[in-house]
Amino acid sequence: MKFKKVLPDPILREFIRFYWFLEGNAENPSFRKIMPFGALDLIIHRGLPMVIEKKGRHVNEPLAFVEGQYLNYHEKMPSANTDIVGVSIQPWASKVLFGIPSVEFTGQIVDVRNLSGGYGELICLIHKERGLQNLSKRLDEFFLRKFVHDSYNEYAHLKLFASVLMKFNELQIEEVADKFWGNSFRGLQIQFKETFGITLSEFRRKKRLQSAVQLMNNCDHRLTDTALNVGFYDQAHFTKAFKQFSGLSPRAYLKQSNSVSETMMGELFS
């Protein structure tokens, strides 16, 4: 299958990571693991929807929906006729775009028909405009109408704290907050979860495991060294967390790393 990313207008990049396009005919469709990534996705199917597992049943995705962040891997099966337009959205943009805090989408698939904000127009636009370049411009125009300049710095203090939290990875979260936040720790926890969709500890765990994936993809490290480099105290703890995150043990992941883009679809969206 063919996958492409297109960056949005520079004004939008604070809120939208990229537009993505996935199309093709999956041979022998089967479920594929998707690792968690730190964004929401607005997804519109122009072909047949993918199949997901929901409460023990296999069901089709909605034709247009918003998918929140996940903490552990999940699985999807591409259709025999896949044609998807996606918008990868920063979690703090959720309230501006949908009028709903990011946490309300976490672990959820929400049909676009249940959202306000003129998304019917967007769906029509995506089905009408097929050229990649022109479609990207139309997407820019649609989303530029939704953002105002005053929104840019609304969550700057939380984003700054998130970067500090990862920089001081060896410290306890409470220690980092004590040194760099300066306000109520409970208030920080509430604001962070609402804005990022996950708790501070969940954010740190996800970022550590994403960093581990990058190391394992790009470097010839021993697993023990990888675990220590990303903030785990021993390999056993790392192995358990990584398996929950990816669906594979670290060793199994390394064995299939050459074909990772075929089997770990979340890699496409990182």
Measure the CA dihedral 59/47/137/116, to 10°: -40
Q: Which of 165, 197, 229 is the last residue of a domain?
A: 197
- Do 115 and 206 lie in one domain? The reply is no
Residues 113 and 191 in one domain: no
Number of domains in the chain: 3
In this structure, are 29 and 137 located in the same domain? yes
Q: Evaluate whether 37 touches 65 at the Cβ level (below 8 Å).
A: no
Residue 13 and residue 125 in one domain = yes
CATH of the domain at 29: 2.60.120
- 232 in the same domain as 170: no
User: From CA 177, how far away is CA 173, in angstroms rounded?
Assistant: 6
Specify the 3-state DSSP secondary structure of 234.
coil
Q: Which residue, among 188, 174, 197, has the nearest Cα to 93 in the 3D structure?
A: 197
Written as tens digits, the pLDDT of the chain (270 aa) is 788 999 999 999 999 999 999 988 867 778 888 888 889 999 999 999 999 987 788 999 999 999 999 999 988 988 888 999 999 999 999 988 999 999 999 999 999 999 988 899 999 999 999 899 999 999 999 999 987 655 556 788 999 999 999 999 889 999 999 999 988 999 999 999 999 999 999 999 999 999 998 888 877 778 889 999 999 988 999 999 999 999 999 998 888 755 444 444 444 443
Q: Are residues 143 and 166 in the same domain?
A: no
DSSP string, 38-88: SSEEEEEESSPPPEEEETTEEEEPPSEEEE---SS-EEEE--SSEEEEEEE
Indicate whether 169 and 251 sit together in one domain: no
Residues 101 and 208 in one domain: no
- Boundaries of domain holding 212: 201-269
| Model pTM above 0.85 | yes
**Domain CATH number, residue 265:** 1.10.10.60
